[in-house]
Structure 1
């Protein structure tokens, strides 16, 4: 049987046509010019290699979520008893004096939530402290428990979480469990079914409700949220897996940070979850946070910033830009991945030029090879610009912390990379309080004692093949 070469020609023509159509789509829809050029050129010239990746990774806007949220926002907020943004003060005198009215107003508008006083925030350093506090709060729950993680594994830690949630249901406590469908891709169906059989309301956060998002690996829900009875909220970098307790020998000891939040700002954290739950289920969870009276005494002002690809602006990137611009004396950032966009990198360079102590702490070990190689090149460029880069030696550094002067600190789930800036749903909590800033400073100083500062030699002395690898890895920066 002879092969008809005309069929091959037709197939190639169709592939090239699809590549040109996809290239036009990339030009029209990709947020950054660098990303648009990269996709358009590769799709037009190498459609055989890039069409399938573009199908899974090409979109930069989460269709459906934003429209659903806008169309139903008033109903959602009224039924969920969300805070009345217009009536709450977004800039009290003290934080306005410390950070400036402009900065407070910008953060409040970015997050769509006000800066509220009367909170208590404490740092939870590493996995044992974090999950001990979370399990303790869940065990004392009386009304409802909200759990949301990017990664949930059916290992020893995952089983502990499952058991404590099932015990809650036996006591009559309502439990809502949301996990990301891609981040938790290997979570067994048996794990979910056991929770459901025990009365826990479990749902994956998935992009598949709209066909245009059906094949996307982007738009992951990277938030880590636990809320108990509207009184306690936990936010930070930990997911549910034994590696977060240091059980992965290659990355151990795992360095991460969570916070426990109490006070009026807990309702704002819960509202961020409510929007995600509503997308996943088309229903409200039906658990209303109680009215929390602000704590007396030395107020902690907290601002919850939920960010994501459904926002009209690039909220996460703008948050980092404004935080860096707000610094007068120092801005210290810890992140597992250093792949900043041009706006954030420019803000870092300008801060260094005006004499701000700019420090970034990153890992010396990698969990994602391509991201690590790209981070090395960005670290070299940062050092050349006067930014101090430190590598954490003991184990893998996964915490996401921003310290601004002696005044404020933000802790949450957002990394210093394009995926957090534009492709993931994230959450950060900014606390304006000198005492808390001092606590975060002490924590970071202990970490800095276990780092080494890099210089230009890290790149200069690298072999040629390694330099090529770094530059190739950075080509993928828009999706890292």
Structure 2
């Protein structure tokens, strides 16, 4: 018995140095990988703030940060770029032919607006006239409008959402799309697999029928992208026959009708565009579909159909991590610099980048009215805390801050003077500006801008204005939480 105890102790003593060596090896390896990853972050991260945040995390906490960086740290989606370049020859011919028909409809740059050239270069297109636009407020109006459009489809329906749930609303659309497909209408359904994670394979399969194709966007396809979770397709686009398009903040689900008791009532905004600008929305869908399915849709119509000679000028802009430039950030910075009278921004997530903050500061300095509308109730605690830093700074400079009180506000709307309004999927945060695939509809028309103004005035009426909003006056823990969240915002 003593011999056995002595043997056991000897084994333990022999194992101890080996375990220590293994731990030392793992720690050393993690720091080496942290240094290598930090160098990669310095070279590849799009913003200095993001690069600094990653470098600090990688060097101080490498065991946790290294795997996080290689899963979440990429800011350019090279696989999407390469796939699109491979298909460009097949796609270019019909698009070039369509562009010839667009030329008479394109809005030329006013001599007094050099910023217009920047906008058109970012969009790779110009504002086009001949559009009828309709403002859609909240879920009921939006879903009824989309259902009516699908019902009128004769050739095809393109149906893309970040979140697609087959609940009450989702099943209504499913049954309608299957019925239209049986009538001979081609239907394509595209969804983001992360946003639509509740869409089980069995439910997705229930959408498949003759004339219907269903695909997840699948950012992780391909060996290099297998562990990439950072890029998401946040777009919401419906196109019918290449003539009418819908885009905005609403996904497909019962909660967007205000049926989620935690986030009810739900406040959101969408828009309907009929006319040549709908073809631009179609082109964005086609690009996403090619990545998802490696299939070019040669049955689509690319001919623009103006609704009326004096229709509204509109532009549909796609943006995302496959762009050479930071399209969304540059676009909104340019638009904000155009404002002379007012900038009204409604967004659920307000964590602007430095360029956007500079544009807002300059607007306030030149006397432009700036209003920020964001929800009091938020589904993201981290975002809500970080937003306090930016809201406080703008409030100190004279911006008016409004907290929406009547449920959860999810709309993404920008109003510039009385001249233009933008409705889409872009939140004012790093994720929307750089990591998500997004879409925005801009309408340069005073009548439409007035409709948006009326809508936002009602939202302000359902809000509380923080007339003396200063973070420095808040309790210590609140200030610490806000500053810490803002510090981490560039990497999330």
For the criterion TM > 0.5, the same-fold answer is: yes
Deviation at 1:457, TM superposition (A): 4.2
Contact 1:80–1:284 under 8 Å retained in 2: no
Residues 338-347 or 62-71, more deviating:
62-71
Contact 1:63–1:212 under 8 Å retained in 2: no
Residue in 2 that maps onto 1:46: 61
Contact 2:131–2:277 under 8 Å retained in 1: yes
Distance 1:224 1:23 in 2: 35
Residue in 1 that maps onto 2:77: 62
Residue in 1 that maps onto 2:88: 73
Matches within 5 A, 1:118-197: 118-197=130-209
Identify which of 47, 54, 78 aligns with 1:32: 47
Could you state the TM-score of these two structures normalised by the residue count of structure 1? 0.95
Contact 2:105–2:129 under 8 Å retained in 1: no
Distance 2:97 2:389 in 1: 44
Distance 1:247 1:319 in 2: 34
Deviation at 1:70, TM superposition (A): 3.4
Could you state the TM-score of these two structures normalised by the residue count of structure 2? 0.93
Identify which of 371, 388, 407 aligns with 1:359: 371
Residue in 1 that maps onto 2:6: none
Deviation at 1:36, TM superposition (A): 0.8
Residue in 2 that maps onto 1:209: 221
Distance 2:97 2:223 in 1: 30
Question: Is 1:401 matched with 2:397?
Answer: no
Distance 2:272 2:241 in 1: 14
Contact 2:243–2:305 under 8 Å retained in 1: no
Contact 1:353–1:386 under 8 Å retained in 2: no
Structure 1 segments, 4+ long, off by >6 Å, are none
Question: Is 1:446 matched with 2:458?
Answer: yes
In structure 1, the gaps of 5 or more residues are none
SS of 1:96's partner is coil
Question: Is 1:435 matched with 2:454?
Answer: no
Distance 1:12 1:199 in 2: 56
Residue in 2 that maps onto 1:11: 26
How has the CA–CA distance of structure 1 residues 25 and 175 changed in structure 2, closer, same or farther, with 3 Å as cutoff? same
Residues 41-50 or 307-316, more deviating:
41-50
1:265-299 C-alpha deviation (Å, 9 max, x unpaired): 11111001000101111111233225333233532
Residue in 1 that maps onto 2:3: none
Distance 2:304 2:172 in 1: 30
SS of 2:386's partner is helix
1:53-74 C-alpha deviation (Å, 9 max, x unpaired): 2122111111221233234324
Residue in 1 that maps onto 2:347: 335
Q: Whose radius of gyration is greater, 1 or 2?
A: 2
Residue in 2 that maps onto 1:263: 275
How has the CA–CA distance of structure 1 residues 398 and 203 changed in structure 2, closer, same or farther, with 3 Å as cutoff? same
Question: Is 1:300 matched with 2:315?
Answer: no
In structure 2, the gaps of 5 or more residues are 1-10
Distance 2:253 2:314 in 1: 29
How has the CA–CA distance of structure 1 residues 121 and 155 changed in structure 2, closer, same or farther, with 3 Å as cutoff? same
Deviation at 1:212, TM superposition (A): 2.8
Contact 1:334–1:401 under 8 Å retained in 2: yes
Deviation at 1:43, TM superposition (A): 0.8
Distance 2:122 2:311 in 1: 23
